[in-house]
Amino acid sequence: MTPRKIIIDTDPGQDDAVAILLALASPAEINVLGITCVAGNVPLELTARNARIICELAGHSELRVFAGCDRPLGRDLVTAEYVHGKTGLDGPDLPEPQMPLQDQHAVEFIIETLRNEPKGSVSLCPVGPLTNVATAFNKAPDIVEKVQEIILMGGAYFQVGNVTPTAEFNIYVDPHAADIVFRSGAPITVMPLDVTHKALVTQARNAAFRALGTPVGIATAQMTEFFERYDREKYGSPGAPLHDPCVIAYLIRPELFTGRYVNVRIETQSELTMGMTVADWWGVTDLAPNAYFVGDIDADGFFELLTERLGRL
């Protein structure tokens, strides 16, 4: 099997970090062409720092990391230090990055890559606000038809919001960018809170990370121990939801997930429901489906895959 070529667009964030580690641990299935950073969980300067810290932790300082947009298209930046800590990567004590940040802007890298690679051969994996992707689509509409698939973490339907009563964080931070992406016509697979809230790092699963005994295993245990506080307090969850790694696991073992192809629209008008992903789950409109909206996961299978792969780094 030829590894799938992907660009990970990210706002690390501990769960983003685990997603990057899983991708880098899976070269037979995934060829990471580059990592593009966006403002989200923490400001851009920190997301660009954190992405490089994780690449070096994985032993991949050769990877190209790009800084992208430092604010949403049409709103003030909302960050989530209350979940991820001041640095965005609180938990483990990891060294400052030595590898360089690329000079090229992340949006230009996305455009150039999609223009240069064969049509339908590159997938975009956004796991933060969609500002970089939407900006690239606005600047170079010709690249939309070249995208193989967008597999993104964002949104919610049955789980409703985690940052407002109706909106999930990634979509809420930049609803206008999300609206552009969901209207683009590119093939989209969505990992919403409906599925990621079923991928919980229980104590036993955290112990399995730590039992790897490697810097990656121990750091993953420390990262997930840190960022579980928010969900424990809010939802009474038995552990941290591993939102972003669901995107990467889907590329490796799609059979772990089930969903429904539905129409998804983004609320961009009302502050009451700003950033809501309005999924027509029951087909009550005649609107054409535009996204595969994932609702369920084989959680044991997911953690078995994740732990085994992390053990390879």
Interface residues toward ligand RIB, by CB under 6 A: 11, 13, 15-16, 40-41, 127-128, 153, 162, 168-170, 243-244
267 binds, options ligand RIB, Ca ion, none, Cβ within 5 to 8 A by partner type: none
Binding piece for Ca ion, criterion CB under 5 A, among 142-150, 215-223, 239-247, 267-275:
239-247
Least distance in angstroms from the C-beta of 19 to Ca ion: 8
One residue of 38, 44, 53, 127 binding Ca ion per CB under 5 A: 127
Strands 277-279 and 200-201: unpaired
> How many whole angstroms separate alpha carbon 71 and alpha carbon 286?
35
DSSP 102: P
Least distance in angstroms from the C-beta of 214 to Ca ion: 24
Does 128 interact with Ca ion (rule: CB under 5 A)?
yes
For the chain, how are helix, strand and coil distributed in percent, rounded to 5? 40, 20, 40
3-state SS assignment for residue 41: coil
C-alpha dist (Å) from residue 60 to 51, 73, 75, 191, 219: 11, 32, 34, 26, 16
H/E stretch holding 124:
strand 122-126
Least distance in angstroms from the C-beta of 199 to ligand RIB: 11
Which of the residues 60, 84, 176, 243 is marked catalytic? 243
13 vs 259 by CB, closer to ligand RIB: 13
C-alpha dist (Å) from residue 162 to 71, 216, 230: 20, 28, 10
C-alpha dist (Å) from residue 303 to 173, 209, 272: 29, 10, 36
Does 241 interact with Ca ion (rule: CB under 5 A)?
no
Least distance in angstroms from the C-beta of 168 to ligand RIB: 5
243 vs 265 by CB, closer to ligand RIB: 243
Cβ atoms of 212 and 307 within 8 Å: the answer is yes
Does 175 interact with Ca ion (rule: CB under 5 A)?
no
The dihedral sign for the CA sequence 178, 114, 29, 204: negative
Least distance in angstroms from the C-beta of 180 to ligand RIB: 18
78 vs 99 by CB, closer to ligand RIB: 78
Binding piece for Ca ion, criterion CB under 5 A, among 20-28, 124-132, 198-206, 285-293:
124-132
What's CA 131's distance to the chain center, in Å? 13
Least distance in angstroms from the C-beta of 303 to ligand RIB: 18
40 vs 259 by CB, closer to ligand RIB: 40
Binding piece for Ca ion, criterion CB under 5 A, among 11-19, 112-120, 139-147, 182-190:
11-19
4 vs 243 by CB, closer to ligand RIB: 243
Site for Ca ion, residues 13 to 72, rule: CB under 5 A: 13, 16
Phi, psi of 49 (to 5 degrees): -70, -50
The dihedral sign for the CA sequence 74, 166, 90, 302: negative
Strands (E), the chain: 4-10, 30-37, 65-67, 122-126, 147-153, 188-191, 200-201, 240-241, 257-262, 264-266, 277-279, 291-297
Cβ atoms of 151 and 127 within 8 Å: the answer is no
| 176 among known catalytic residues | no
21 vs 143 by CB, closer to ligand RIB: 21
Residue numbers of the site for Ca ion (CB under 5 A)?
Answer: 11, 13, 16, 127-128, 244
Residue numbers annotated as active site: 243
